[in-house]
Amino acid sequence: MKLDRLAYRPDALLDFFEEGLGALGGLCARPWHDRLEVVAEGAAARLWRADGELHSAELQFVAAGETGARDAQREVFPGCPLTFQLAEALRPSPPPLERAVLEIDGAARPPDAAVIERLWRQAHPDTLRWRLASPLTPAFHHSLVALVRCEVQATDQHWSLHRVALGLPDGRADDGLAREIGFARLAAAPAALAWPTPDPTGWSGLLTGAIEGELAGELAAVRARQEGRLARELTRVDDYFANYERELAGRASRGRGATGKFAERLAAAKAEHARHRADQVARHEIVVVPHVDALLLVAEPAWRGTLHIERAHRPPAALEARFVPRARRWETAAEARA
Amino acid sequence: MEQHPPPAPSDSAGGGVVGGGAAGGDALLAVTFDLAAGAVLFEWARAEGGALLHRARLGLAPGAARFFRVYLFELKFEPVGIGAVERCGATPTSIHAMLRRVRKATSPVAAVRIGVRADTALGPVAAGAWHEMFGLAVDHGWKSVAQLLAQFAARLEPLIRGDEGADEPAAARAALRAVAATQLGVVEPAALAALAPRGLPGPRAQPAALSHLELRIMFDTIACRAELVWRSPASGATVATGVVTATEAWRLRWELHVGHHDEPAETCAPEPAEVRRHFGAWITRFRTALDWVHIAFLKQLPGASTPVLKPEPPFESNAALLEFIDYHLTTMARERAYRHSPLGRMQTRLDAEANLESEAFARRKQRKEERRVAEEARREATIARLAEERRQREERAAAQRAAEAAAKAAAAKTAASAAKVAAPTPPAAPRAIAPPPPVPVVVRAATLALQDTVLPLTDLRGFALREQAARWWVSNQSDDLLCLPHCRIERLEYQVRTALRVLGALRGRALLSDEVGLGKTIEAGLVAKELFTRGMVKRMLVLTLPSLVDQWAEELEGKFALTAVTTNGPLVRDDPAKFWRDHACIVASLHTLKQPAHLAIAREVHWDLLVVDEAHYLRNRTSQAWQAVNVLPRQFLLLLTATPVQNSLEELYNLVTLLQPGQLPTPKEFRARFLDPERPRQPREPEELRRLLGQVMIRNTRANAGIDLPPRRAETVLFAPEAAEARFWAEWESEFRARLATLSASQSSLWGRLLLQAAGSSPAAWRGALEKFPDQAAARVWRERAPLEASWQRKCRALLPLTREPGGAVVFTQFLDTQAALAEFLRGAGVATFVINGGTPAPERQPITEEFRRRGGALLLTHSGTEGRNLQFCHTLANFDLPWNPMEIEQRIGRLHRLGQREPVAIHNFVQAGTLQEHLLQVLQEKLNLFELVVGETGLVLGERFSGDEFEEEIFRRWHEGAGRVPEAIAGFGAELAEARARHAEVKRLDETLFARDFESQ
């Protein structure tokens, strides 16, 4: 889920500074609607002093559209370094893998069999027969939620922010969780809860795939722009060298130079042409660099059971499956492999 | 043939009242009082072309003479137009209503012209000719028509009403003639007599209007007076004349002449109430008919040699007339008083100048427009010629291809018939245009280095805060430069605009050709810092001249916090591969890069950003430098030069080709299209070349950057030595030359330059230098013999007046000994003296400067103390001694003559008459024009020939070799400098021709 950019609003930014600096250990007070008095030490003070010594400042949040010279040390304005610095200070590197257990209403009692059968059949329309082979037992479903800043480097540079939720272990996108995580209530983790082992390599692949999907639309526009530019550049380069080669050939045909010299020049021109083309192509390459800012491993109540399934043109099979009440969907090992 | 009124008035003497605009529509209306017919003609014509749209004739309505008649007038349209008939009564309301209907039914008009045509001469109206009475804008025009018709009705009605046997056409002719005569200011007793009663009883026998007097008012705006003349409409005789004069004392003087008698004059304040009182008394006394008041203004129009009399349209009511009179009389009084005031007198003078200026501007504008049209025509012709040439070429090529194809086909046919089994030859495939390769998209894998945690969260506030932080981080990306808060530079808008344009529209490849002194280095630094800040550049290479390598590194470090390694450091020699490969920011000399060993390594590295300073050194495509830069793989490229063209336009071509191959056509085509072999610096098609260059080049000038520094004024403070001193210096120079001959070449140059410059500075500096001279015996003798104190005192005293200038004086010297001695002298003379030199700790320098700024006096600086000082608050500079390096002098001047300087900078050069310093100063001033060049320009004039120490060496060489004829030797050097300056001036002219506009950063 792509998160929209925030419009510059001094009051909203002031809230963020107050909360952010507070989280870093700073003391903040608002003497006026657009001012924030800060007394900071350590991590919070490092926004101003590399040594983290005690620092006090009164920050002023400049109104949007205000022009004039800015004091980057004590003024907050669009594009100002302090905002970048605070945001970066709040982003531990490497990011911690945090864990959370979601509290889901009504998850304490098993779902109605008719309902879950119907949900199964909706997801798998080719199912002929469906039977719950064993009673449902409480279990947990795990997901990975990540905040990813995507840097798209084309001729110019774009940034976008995405909140990505993936079901584990299969990496199936869970847009519902990505949307709702901001409103979720957390529960205490039961002692029996077994968390999945962190798998940075595998998860990185899953996240990259999800980001590719998220950015597809945006990239298409960037790519169309880049291709237009590249075509123009290449036409220019090609025309130039084609004309040059014609000139060389013309000179050679008038017998002014030795044939060997002409061939040599022609070869040099071709090599140069190829180099310029390659240079232009490389110059127009689009690079997407995802930067992971936060990671959250989410556990939520689910129901595990064995399903006996008959599908068209397939032999009957018994499947271990988990029903996730929040998402109202089934997760199976087979799907994970798919 | 009937003469029609002109449909589109264009020569109105009324100052373009109708010519101005077609706000109301695109038609013109001409209203003609046809005196012969006793009717009023209305003609609507199209503004453009004059095609007739409608035509109507206003005459008496049938039964107009009946006592109980409804209509007086009838306006009958001709079938060319709307073919309708409109009628109205005799009252103004009815006339207005009819005209409103007509106005709605006909084409909207832009202007109304009211004229008269008479069968016999009537005042200014020739018989049979159309004469304009008013040329009016549309609203006013319709109103005037209505008022005139009302006057017509008023005069006509008493003549015919109730008299069914009356000669209606004759009455109409008479009434119309009377109205026209009144408007034209003609007293025509015959016309008025025609209005005499036809035996009708009662008040109609004498029209009411005729019992009143007619008033004519002329406002003479030149003499600030108004002349009022009452005449009898019957006899035309003048009854009374009143003159209202505005006096210089802001009063109005009222004078009245009745018959031959002058009545006592009165004065009053120019207040509306007073004016109304006086004027009201006059019009009451002379029974003025308010609809017979004629007003005109005598005006002096700008640019006209004679005044113009401009009539005003008639008034609707008494109130309007009274308002009009009091407004104009009070205004006139105000105007008169103002004109008499000092400010007014000044403005009168200025107005004349402004008029001249305005005329000159108009002429300039016209000439410019003519030039533009000519240039455009030339360009069109060139484009047409090129298109024709291209068409011919293509035709020739097509014909050639057809001939070749025919020949091939014939050959194939022959071969086929000979062999009987020949396979058909495929036709030559047209050259395939390769489609552009797809743009590669690389999605890098998300780096997931994570630190695991154990305890589950109890709330998501931390996560939400991090998300908020990431959102603000992303949202904080702005359209402005992100790097600015990290740069230690003064924000100059044109530099920021330049950086934004390079990053945006020019996509990181640009030729930065700002005029000297505008900060190309800063602009390149901004671009580099921004690209680094945005993470778009990881490796940068700056190429420059060897002498500028350290300066670049310092600027990058000091102003942009970019730490660079340089080719002046040891690493490049110790481990070249590591030097080129392992550093993110490198400042290298072009000379080092050109070396094959270095180039082989550098070309293997992909440079995200390549900056080439003084890029005019790449002007030759066959040069090693050009080739070396060309092979470096790079993403973004900035070429920096103030003079992209020095000798030929091909140099520019080479630079642009390095930047964007294909931006300009092939060399041959470029030469054919743009180069004039006889004038290689002048483009054939400057506009087209400018257009092409505009896509890769930015050139800010002082004008567009808003940098307009005040002038510099150089003055020589020459003091003559006493005879004994002059004799001593002559002897010393000859002895010194002889002693130097005994030293090695390098020692000779070193000591020669040092002692000669010290001698021009102060006795203290000279003595100090002598202490270390290798020949101590000679040095001792010289020290003992030297009678130098008198001239030193004179030199110091010459400085005293400068220290008393507002803002004090900045005094530069090369020698610490001179500085110390001078400080002692000045303090002794009671002058506030401040000293900064290399020994002054950095934190103390600014407070000293501030103190000098506050107190004035003298600030004594040496070269080391100069760096980083901005002294634009002061405008008096003294070169207490003269460095032999012009660049150093320029740096001294540049401390004061910089952005923020508001006063002309006075430069005082202290030299002793008859010395080497005097000859040198003469050369610098007259041949190099050093003190008038713009900061940064000296280096361009001197070029490679005299960079760094070479200038000093040359001076010394000429002194050394020119024993007995030093002035001639130095003058010879001056000639060389003059040539260099002339060359530079030519380059500058060419730059202005080519790059005068279109390349600014916005």
DSSP letters of B977-1000?
HHHHHHHHHHHHHHHHHHHSSS-S
B478 part of contact set with chain A, CB < 8 Å: yes
Question: Which residues in chain A are closer than 8 Å to B633, comparing Cβ atoms?
Answer: 279
CB-based contact B132:B114 (threshold 8 Å) = yes
How many Å from the N-terminal Cα to the C-terminal Cα in chain B?
A: 63
Q: Do A69 and B491 touch (CB under 8 A)?
A: yes
Chain B residue numbers with beta carbons less than 8 Å from the beta carbon of A278 are: none
B447 vs A230: CB contact, 8 Å cut-off?
A: no
Quick check: A98 and A32 in contact, CB under 8 A? Answer: no
Cβ neighbours, 10 Å, residue B360:
10
d(CA B905, CA B903): 6
Shortest distance between the Cα of B440 and any Cα of chain A, in A, equals 5
Q: Which residues contact A172 (CB under 8 A, 6 or more apart)?
A: A166, A331, A335, A336
CA separation, residue B762 to residues B85, B130, B146, B920 (Å): 107, 92, 95, 17
Determine the pLDDT at residue A58. Answer: 92
Q: How far is B379 from chain A (nearest CA, A)?
A: 24
Measured distance CA(B882)–CA(B921) in Å, rounded? 8
Whether B430 and chain A come into contact, CB under 8 Å, resolves to no
Q: How far is CA B225 from the centre of its chain?
A: 43
Question: Which has more pLDDT, B491 or A10?
Answer: A10
Q: How confident is the model at residue A334 (pLDDT cuts 50, 70, 90)?
A: low
Distance from CA of B633 to the nearest CA of A (A): 8
φ, ψ at A323 (rounded to 5°): -100, 125
| Residue B754: φ, ψ to 5° | -65, -50
Decide: helix, strand or coil at residue B287: coil
- Over residues A266-275, the pLDDT tens digits come to 888 888 888 8
Mean pLDDT of A134-138: 87
- With both helix axes pointing from N to C terminus, report the angle between B776-785 and B763-770 in degrees, rounded to the nearest 10: 160
Measured at the CA of A145, the angle between CA A141 and CA A150, to 5 degrees, comes to 155
Q: What is the C-alpha separation between A223 and A284, in angstroms, rounded?
A: 9
**Cis, peptide link before residue A169, omega less than 30° from 0:** yes
- Radius of gyration of chain B from its Cα atoms, rounded to whole angstroms: 45
Select from B636, B35, B531 the least CA-distant residue to A282: B636
Q: Do B456 and A189 touch (CB under 8 A)?
A: yes
| Lateral strand order in the sheet of B27-34 | B85-88, B73-77, B52-60, B39-46, B27-34, B109-117, B130-137
C-alpha to C-alpha distance for B798 and B822, rounded to whole angstroms: 12
Which token pair is B895? 């401390």
Nearest in space to A94 (alpha carbons), one of B462, B454, B449: B449
From residue B187, give the alpha-carbon distance in Å to each of B178, B209, B289, B580, B610: 9, 15, 16, 103, 91
Which residues are B57's β-sheet partners? Answer: B41, B76
User: Count of residues for chain A?
Assistant: 338
> Quick check: helix, strand or coil at residue A121?
helix
Please name every residue paired with B907 in a beta bridge, in sequence order, or none if there are none: B714, B877
Q: Which amino acid is at A52?
A: G
How many whole angstroms separate alpha carbon B733 and alpha carbon B736? 5
Q: Give first-to-last CA distance, chain A, whole Å.
A: 23
Closest CA to A177 of A91, A116, A102: A102
* Minimum CA–CA partner of B634 in chain A: A279
Residues in chain B, pLDDT under 50: 1-24, 81, 191-210, 317, 421-432, 998, 1001-1002
- Give contacts of A201 with chain B, Cβ < 8 Å: 448
Q: Which of B179, B201, B208 is nearest to B191 (CA)?
A: B179
The Cβ of residue A265 has, within 10 Å, a number of other Cβ atoms equal to 16
Residue of chain A whose alpha carbon sits nearest to that of B441 = A286
Mean pLDDT over A300-317 rounds to 86
DSSP three-state, residue B761: coil
Residue B581 tokens, joined: 């490969």
Phi, psi torsion values for B728, nearest 5 degrees: -60, -45
Using DSSP's 3-state secondary structure scheme, residue B843 falls into: helix
Side-by-side strand order, sheet with B833-836:
B712-719, B905-912, B876-879, B809-812, B858-861, B833-836
* Cross-sheet strand order for the sheet of B585-589: B565-566, B585-589, B540-544, B607-612, B634-640, B509-512, B697-698
- Between A3, A184, A207, which is nearest B446 by CB? A207
Q: Which of A73, A90, A99, A101 to substitute to test the interface with B, most B CBs within 10 Å? A: A90
Buried b (16+ CB within 10 A) or exposed e, B740-758: beebeeeebbebbbbbbbb
B462 at A interface, C-beta within 8 A: yes
Retrieve residue B438's tokens: 């797809």
> CB pairs under 8 A, 24+ apart, for B454-459?
B454/A99, B455/A99, B456/A98, B456/A99, B456/A100, B456/A101, B456/A186, B456/A188, B456/A189, B456/A299, B457/A98, B457/A99, B457/A100, B457/A186, B457/A296, B458/A186, B458/A188, B459/A186
**B507–A contact, CB cutoff 8 A:** yes
Closest residue in chain B to residue A234, using alpha carbons only: B436
Q: In the 8-state DSSP scheme, what is residue B711? A: P
> B491 near B678, Cβ under 8 Å?
no
B351/A contact by beta carbon, under 8 A: no
A287 closest CB neighbour out of B444, B474, B480: B444
What part of B 669-688 touches A (C-beta under 8 Å)? 669
Task: Encode B196-227: b = buried (16+ Cβ within 10 Å), e = exposed.
Answer: eebeeeeebeebebbebbbbbbbbbbeebbbb
A207: its two tokens: 């996240």
pLDDT for residue B945: 58
Q: On the CB side of B621, how many CA atoms lie within 13 Å of its CA? A: 14
- CB contacts < 8 A, A to B, total 237
